[in-house]
Amino acid sequence: MNGFFDKLIDGISAVNTRLSDILGSMVVCAILVLVGIYLTARTGFFQVSKLKLWWKNTTASMFKDKSVRDNKDEKSISQFQALATALSATIGTGNIVGVATAVYAGGPGAIFWMWVAAFFGMMTKFAEIALSMKYRYKNEKGEWIGGPMIYLEKGAKSKFLAVLYAAFCALASFGIGSSSQANSVATAICSAINVSSDSLGTVKLIIGFILIAVVGLVIIGGIKRIGKVSEIVVPFMAALYILGGIIVIIVNIKSIPGVFASIFAGAFRLKAAGAGILGFTIKEAIQLGVGRGIFSNEAGLGSSSIAHAATNTEQPVKQAMWGVFEVFADTIVVCSITGLSILTTAVNVTTDAKGVDLTSAAFGSVFGNGLASIFIAVSVTLFALSTMIGWAYYGERGFEYLFGTKLTILYKILFLGAVLIGTSTELDIVWKVADTFNSMLMIPNLIGLVILAGEVVKMVNDYTNDPANAIKKAHK
């Protein structure tokens, strides 16, 4: 069995290296940010100029408006369940493992570029959700179907881009949604319970089967069960991790000024030691900061718009505001807490500790290594499970677009099978493959967003000028 997996991983690694070279990560990151800047400018810096509006319709409404949470329609989910489902996919191991990896390889400056990607990514995700809501339709089961493949076909009038996106979405779900999450869970748990090298493979395999059972029970129930599970798990796991991170930062509060100085300095510092390659450090900071930010908040991938399209609301712009909040919550809050926890505790990022071990070391400096390992293992497991649940739905919708509803059971089997591959491989190759899938997924989606930017601007103007008639105008 191990020999088969070794050959499979070697083959995947070789193909991924070629794809990564062709895609050019820096180029893709630059295009992503430029599209975000373009949408931000076209909408009049909506995330800032309409801050009060989107905050009122998201965070404030969760506590004041019962309709945000309530939904009696068996074929759709509530606005909050849509948010929770989308956040279940975005608030994942990228917030813990991805940020730590970025800091380890790109230095403190990577955090700055995460913030940059998040700021402009707010409007990228806003546009994705608004368009997904505008062009969604009901399938033969009476379920709302939306997402990039739908607005690429109906809005951008490109069946080719739609098929391309659907295919990449299904493929990406096996990387970002299944194997990478399973890998992080297995690594965190094995580290927390000090599994010996002799039994490491067996324990990881057992963890893989447990994950398959848990995730399988949820996704077999469809979007309604996914929504119900997400609205319970997501708030709990986010609050737990945020509380732990804030405690770590408060304990090391005196380090904050120096940390912020290192973040801004590292974002633009050129490395010339020993007449080395100028710009290497800034290149790494940008690539890893933006790349890990994308992996975490998924702005530009179009994926979360698939969940939002299943909501019971009819107003595209109102639902799209949740996308702005998503990126804020995911990256500005949760990712920042991970990065600041690592940097304020002065964990030596030049050591062999990386990924989840680096985050665990940061928390361990305050809570003790034993308790921290358990805390991080629980956090990673909850984050990963929620991400797997959300991405299983995204990938299924992409698969359904390509092959119809009758074969979606095949997709679920393949998705769960990818869990075993994730628990049986090394961290680096899993994340590299996931990053490649992300880049592939963005290409057709970003093309569609540029083509349909005018429609997004029109929806925003109609909503802000005449909210009462905006729904009718949005669906013309």
Dump pLDDT digits (tens) for 440-466. 888 899 999 999 999 999 999 988 887
The DSSP secondary structure of 95-159, one letter per residue, reads: IIIIHHHHHHHH-THHHHHHHHHHHHHHHHHHHHHHHHHHH-EE-TTS-EE-SHHHHHHHTS--H
Closest CA to 127 of 313, 323, 272: 323
**Residue pLDDT, tens place only, 81-104:** 776 777 666 666 667 766 777 777
Judged by DSSP in three states, 311 sits in strand
Residue 26 pLDDT > 60: yes
Q: How many domains does the chain have?
A: 1
Structure tokens at 438: 């992300």
pLDDT over threshold 80, residue 204:
yes
Q: Residue 87 is part of which domain span?
A: 2-474
Please check the confidence at residue 64 and state whether its pLDDT lies above 80. no
What integer pLDDT is reported at residue 474 of this predicted model? 59
Q: Left, alpha or beta for 71 (phi > 0: left; psi -120 to 50: alpha)?
A: beta
pLDDT of 378 higher than 90: no
CB 131 within 8 A of CB 147: no
Burial label for 412, CB within 10 Å (0-12, 13-18, 19+), is: middle
Is the pLDDT confidence value at 127 over 80?
yes
Helix residue ranges per DSSP H, 24-78:
25-42, 46-49, 51-55, 61-64
Q: What is the mean pLDDT of the chain?
A: 79
Token pair for 315: 């107003």
Q: How far apart are CA 294 and CA 121, in angstroms?
A: 8
Q: What is the pLDDT of residue 468?
A: 66
Helices 109-135, 256-268: crossing angle, 10 deg rounding: 80
Specify which residues 138 forms β-bridges with. 144
Encoded tokens for 104: 């380890």
Average pLDDT over residues 378-393: 82
Band of the pLDDT at 59, cuts 50, 70, 90?
Answer: confident
Structure confidence by residue, pLDDT tens digits, 275-293: 333 333 444 455 555 555 5
Q: What is the CATH number of the domain that holds 160?
A: 1.20.1740.10
Alpha carbons within 13 A on the beta-carbon side of 88: 33
Share of the chain above pLDDT 90, in %: 20
For residue 315, the model assigns a pLDDT of 86
pLDDT band at 14 (very low <50, low <70, confident <90, very high): low
Bridge partner residues of 43 (DSSP): none
Q: Which residues in 142-301 belong to E strands, given as ranges?
A: 144-145
Q: What does the pLDDT read at residue 321?
A: 92
Asked whether the CA dihedral 379, 180, 177, 249 is positive or negative, the reply is: positive
Q: Report pLDDT digits (tens) over 304-313.
A: 899 888 887 8
**Cα gap 251→346, rounded to integer Å:** 12
* Residue 217 confidence (pLDDT) above 70: yes
CB contact burial 245-261 (16+ within 10 A = b; e otherwise): beebbeebeebeeebee
How does pLDDT run across 300-350, given as a tens digit for each residue? 888 889 988 888 788 899 889 988 988 888 888 888 888 898 888 876 544
| CA–CA distance, 244 with 229 (Å, rounded to integer) | 23
**3-state secondary structure at position 62:** helix
The SS3 assignment for 77 reads strand
Among 221-230, 247-256, 368-377, 436-445, the range of highest mean pLDDT: 247-256
| pLDDT, position 153 | 95
The residues, any chain, with a CB within 8 Å of residue 156's CB and separated by 6 or more, are 447, 448, 451, 452
> How far is Cα 215 from Cα 299, in angstroms, rounded to an integer?
24
pLDDT at 96: 72
Give the least confident one: 140-144, 156-160, 455-459: 140-144
Whether pLDDT at 73 is above 70 = no
Given a cut of 70, is residue 5 above it in pLDDT?
no
Point out which residues pair with 311 in neighbouring strands.
77
- What pLDDT, on the 0 to 100 scale, is given for residue 161? 95
The pair of structure tokens assigned to 391 is 């991405």
